[in-house]
Chains A and B, each alone.
Chain A
């Protein structure tokens, strides 16, 4: 059975800290790994990582895919209170996108 596991499940840091969120997966016929940010509404897309694009960066956020270790990390530097959200990792197999349980990130001022 396909599985995506995220850690930690919850993280509380101070504004300005750097955080690293983890995602590991066991998915048949891996196609890609996606990161989403979810506030009090629908998830919004952050990054997609594939075999041909294993590292992505956008502003203070960056992500790396390790296909050998079947995992990915999402880094956020100089965190701001607006980064508080649930971060979801999802992995696409043959047809379906399998989501992890999410990491709830809280940034305190």
Chain B
């Protein structure tokens, strides 16, 4: 099984540019999450989704948007990139509501200059 896949692995953006980070899972999980991890820090939740068509804000949603049109895909959109968005982005998924273990993708490293 592929599990959770993310693309791209690494990207450099100029200030003000936009991009979409892709996340796909093949485990038929209802719950999907986007985290960012700054150097030397823990993970902060950006957005999460409990199923297709349903999304909600996490701790640090400003500057990001998400959509969940299918169970498999949960893209994260940056509209106007800022240096503060330089980070590593992890997508994760989990199954039933009380299935606690989250499966993480390999991460996308984003540098905004």
Residues of A within 8 A of B (CB): 4, 6, 31-32, 34, 41-45, 48, 50, 88, 90, 92, 95-102, 104
Contact = CB atoms under 8 A, between A and B. Distances in A.
B42 interface: yes
The 6 closest A-B CB pairs, nearest first, are: A42-B104, A101-B42, A99-B43, A99-B42, A102-B42, A32-B100
**What's the interface size class on B, roughly?**
20 to 34
Nearest to A40: B107
Contacts, number: 51
A42 B43 CA distance: 11
Nearest to A104: B40
Contact of A48 (B35, B44, B90, B100): B100
- Taking chain B's interface residues, is the majority helix, strand, or loop, or is none over half, making it mixed? loop
A100 B43 CA distance: 7
Contacts of A98: 45
Contacts of B74: none
Contacts of A48: 100-101
